[in-house]
């Protein structure tokens, strides 16, 4: 039987998941996950639990490298905690199958917990926990990479909170505009719409255009 041929071009590149101090350094500034967690907490001054954070971030999760990193971490932990001389799989709970919804949810929670730990366990924390359940942002935003023409890798500076506020306001304005448009178009296209419905749609559009 011929030996399998492994084409390096077809194998996944995992080099971005391991930072060897001899060959590379971790990119400066907070990670993308950390920044997104901070922004989410910033939008909720009342704080969020870890379950609420995971539920809010799961639908739009874009950090797919988390899944490979979590699989490696699970394998690493299995090797550490496996008693010497025991069978590698005998007596062990079934492993989460890679790519399943349960695996993805566990990987996302693991990555969010790492982000929260990095945000709170530092001399200048960017997040805090009150009674062990709810998380809040501090007055200090995370450091992020900024574009720089002199240094190719850019430089690190605190996240621009004022710009974040402007983006949040622009997003709210867009959502309201779309709701007004939808209500107005629904009334105009409904042949059975009453005068009261048309008047209400026009009043809503007028209030929006007037800045009310």
Dihedral in degrees, nearest 10, Cα atoms 110, 113, 119, 121: -110
Strand order in the sheet with 48-49: 48-49, 134-137, 127-129
pLDDT tens digits, 155-200? 777 788 887 778 877 888 888 888 888 888 888 888 887 888 888 8
Question: According to the model, what pLDDT value does residue 51 have?
Answer: 94
- What is the reported pTM? 0.65
Residue identified by tokens 């379950």 is 51
Diameter of the chain measured on Cα atoms: 82
Query: What is the C-alpha separation between 111 and 63, in angstroms, rounded?
Result: 10
- In order of 2, 15, 21, 50, 170, the CA distances from 5 in angstroms are 9, 21, 31, 44, 53
Number of neighbours of residue 14 by Cβ within 10 angstroms = 12
**Distance between CA atoms of 153 and 106, rounded to whole angstroms?**
32
CA-based nearest residue to 40, from 137, 163, 139: 137
Q: Tens digit of pLDDT for each residue in 81-111?
A: 666 655 555 555 556 788 899 999 999 999 9
């Amino acid at each position: 039987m011929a030996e399998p041929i492994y084409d390096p071009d077809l194998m996944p590149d995992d080099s971005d998941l391991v930072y060897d101090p001899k060959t590379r350094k971790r990119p400066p500034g907070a990670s993308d996950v950390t920044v997104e967690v901070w922004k989410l907490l910033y939008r909720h001054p009342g704080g969020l639990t870890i379950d609420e954070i995971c539920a809010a971030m799961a639908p739009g999760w874009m950090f797919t490298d988390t899944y490979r990193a979590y699989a490696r971490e699970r394998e690493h932990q299995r090797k550490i905690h496996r008693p010497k001389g025991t069978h590698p799989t005998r007596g062990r709970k079934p492993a989460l199958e890679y790519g399943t919804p349960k695996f993805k949810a566990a990987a996302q929670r693991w990555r969010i917990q790492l982000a929260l730990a990095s945000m709170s366990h530092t001399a200048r924390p960017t997040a805090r926990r009150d009674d062990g359940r709810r998380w809040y942002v501090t007055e200090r935003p995370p450091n992020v990479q900024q574009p720089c023409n002199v240094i190719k890798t850019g430089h690190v500076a605190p996240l621009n909170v004022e710009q974040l506020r402007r983006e949040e306001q622009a997003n709210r304005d867009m959502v309201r505009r779309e709701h007004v448009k939808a209500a107005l178009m629904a009334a105009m296209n409904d042949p059975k719409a009453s005068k009261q419905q048309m008047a209400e749609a026009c009043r809503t559009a007028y209030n929006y255009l007037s800045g009310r």
